[in-house]
Amino acid sequence: MRAVNSAPDFRRAFSFPAFRFSIFFFITALVLLAPLSVRAAATLSETDKADIRRVEAYLNSISTMDADFLQMTSLGDFAEGRIYLSRPGRVRIDYDPPNPILIVANYGTIKYVDRQLDQISHFSLDDTPAGVLLDEKVRLLDEKFTITAVEREAATLRIGLTRSADPLQGMITLVFDAKPLKLRKWEVIDAQGLLTVVSLQGARFAIPLKDTLFRYDPPEKKVP
């Protein structure tokens, strides 16, 4: 296992194409680094639909959350940090040193900050299937998403999905403790076939979070 000491591909962690960004957890399978293939929509039973609606209601009930995270990829990259989420539309992802990356999303716009290089890049949450977690109203059965799998494993519920308009953007699997329902992790396979697993640890919900967490103002440069 190798630690991620350079900037991770933040797009992979939150399922953005083209960059390397992964958010947290344990790898449970090996994935060949082959181009992503499009998965067909799953045939949903009434039980599947009931579980999806239960997940929708649960995600829509989340107002705020903070948690430590553990992030791993099928390349063996490893990173840790802390995530802050305020629905709708806001998230902050702070990687632990020596990783210099900070990610701040505020109502659709994402800032990817490399504090070591003093660089900021801008992206849209619409670029990633993981943006579903920040939607104002989560509707997984909407035509906006294609459900690729609903799986039940002991006390775990897994729901796989892609964005219908661009399935090659990436696939995300949301993983929940089933009883009581609780978001535990998510897994993303990007367009290059890289698996990123993001685990939440010690998550707290419905807690006050300062607005300043979801802003980033670059430090003023000193004039020589």
Taking only the tens place, the pLDDT of each residue in 94-124 is: 999 888 889 998 877 888 899 888 888 888 8
> Which pTM value belongs to this model?
0.79
Q: How confident is the model at residue 128 (pLDDT cuts 50, 70, 90)?
A: low
Is the domain defined by 2-201 classed in CATH 3.40.50.261?
no
Taking a C-beta distance cutoff of 8 angstroms, is the pair 82, 91 a contact? no
- Rounded-to-5 percentages of helix, strand, coil across the chain: 15, 40, 45
- Amino acid 182: pLDDT: 94
82-95: b (≥16 Cβ within 10 Å) or e: ebbbbbebbbbbbb
Inform me whether the pLDDT recorded for 213 exceeds 90.
yes
For the stretch 80-98, pLDDT in tens is: 999 999 999 999 999 998 8
What are the beta bridge partners of residue 79?
71
Q: Which two tokens stand for residue 134?
A: 């920040």
Compute the mean pLDDT over every residue in the chain, rounded to the nearest whole number.
80
Q: Which of residues 218 and 58 earns the better pLDDT score?
A: 58
Q: How far is CA 188 from CA 20, 195, 213, in A?
A: 12, 6, 25
Burial of residue 203 (CB within 10 Å: 0-12, 13-18, 19+) is middle
181 phi/psi in degrees, rounded to 5? -65, 125
pLDDT tier for residue 36 given thresholds of 50, 70 and 90: very low
